[in-house]
Amino acid sequence: MIGILGGTFNPIHNGHLHLAERLQQTLAFETVRFIPAAIPALKDMPKVSAKQRADMVKLAIVDHPTFEIDTRELERAGPSYTIDSLISLRKELGDKVSICWLIGFDAFARLNTWHRWNELLDHCHFVVVKRPHSEDLTWNAEIESLVELHQTNNLNSLKNSGSGKILIQEIAALDISSTEIRKNIASKSNVSDVMPSSIINYIQQHQLYQ
Ligand code: ATP
Ligand code: MG
């Protein structure tokens, strides 16, 4: 069973790392793969290049032996659609392995805007975590019925099948976002407690987010 954390990682922060660590402990993933989006389909193009965002992910996970970076979205042209990554992961890993896509409530609430969203659960499970402030978000009817059809509270059922389930997992998520970090760096506020020092050094060295 593996966990996947897709994101823009603009930049990666302790909220991402904490999410991956906690869910790895709870669900006993063999590995967690971080997949940076090269060209996010639903966001403005990041000013920081995909290569630099991926470099920061690499730096952030260097001390985690079971965390890996997966750069397949950097190697494709066009928008970085999750469905394409899942299909290529399936080719690599086979049909049987359990693939758990880790996702915050905010991103999951908009899942029905993703390219070919109806097919995603054919290839993975979703493990959804609440982020601070996500209580304000509501689910639309499409997400509501997707959850109704696929939700499980049984961790083992994620292990015993390759795809198709939604688990909503309570973790104490950290109140950190890349948006806030970008603003704080631009206004020269302190970001030392929200991301690893290696990332702060990288950002300074490359003069990002100024
Ligand atoms: P931005 O503010 O630019 O959107 P972000 O902090 O939301 O950045 P993303 O790269 O968009 O980071 O997030 C990737 C995934 O990680 C998403 O599923 C998101 O919900 C989740 N995530 C991000 N930050 C946290 C956090 N602090 N706690 C739990 N999940 C998080
Ligand atoms: Mg986000």
Per-residue pLDDT at 24 exceeds 90:
yes
* Alpha-carbon Rg for the chain in angstroms: 17
Look at residue 134 in the predicted model and tell me its pLDDT: 77
CB distance 87 to ligand 1 below 6 Å = no
Rounded to whole angstroms, the Cα distance separating 184 from 127 reads: 30
Mean pLDDT, the chain, rounded, equals 96
Shortest-distance atom of ligand 1 to CA 5: 15
Shortest-distance atom of ligand 1 to CA 174: 27
- Please tell me the distance between residue 129's alpha carbon and the centre of ligand 1 in angstroms: 10
Per-residue pLDDT at 208 exceeds 80:
yes
Rounded to whole angstroms, the Cα distance separating 44 from 40 reads: 7
**From 5, 18, 19, mutation site for ligand 1 pocket: most ligand atoms within 8 A of C-beta:** 19
CB distance 153 to ligand 1 below 6 Å = no
Backbone φ and ψ of 34, nearest 5° = -95, 125
Look at residue 57 in the predicted model and tell me its pLDDT: 98
- Please tell me the distance between residue 177's alpha carbon and the centre of ligand 1 in angstroms: 6
- Please tell me the distance between residue 8's alpha carbon and the centre of ligand 1 in angstroms: 8
Average pLDDT over residues 145-162: 97
Structural domains of the chain, ranges and CATH numbers in brackets: 2-176 (3.40.50.620)
As a whole-number percent, the residues of the chain with pLDDT over 90 amount to: 94
The full DSSP string for the chain is: -EEEEEE--TT--HHHHHHHHHHHHHHT-SEEEEEE-SS-SSSPPPSS-HHHHHHHHHHHHTT-TTEEE--GGGSS-SS--HHHHHHHHHHHH-SSS-EEEEEEHHHHTTGGGSTTGGGGGGT-EEEEEPPTTGGG----HHHHHHHHHHEE--HHHHHSSSS--EEEE-----S--HHHHHHHHHTT---TTTS-HHHHHHHHHTTTT-
pTM over 0.95: yes
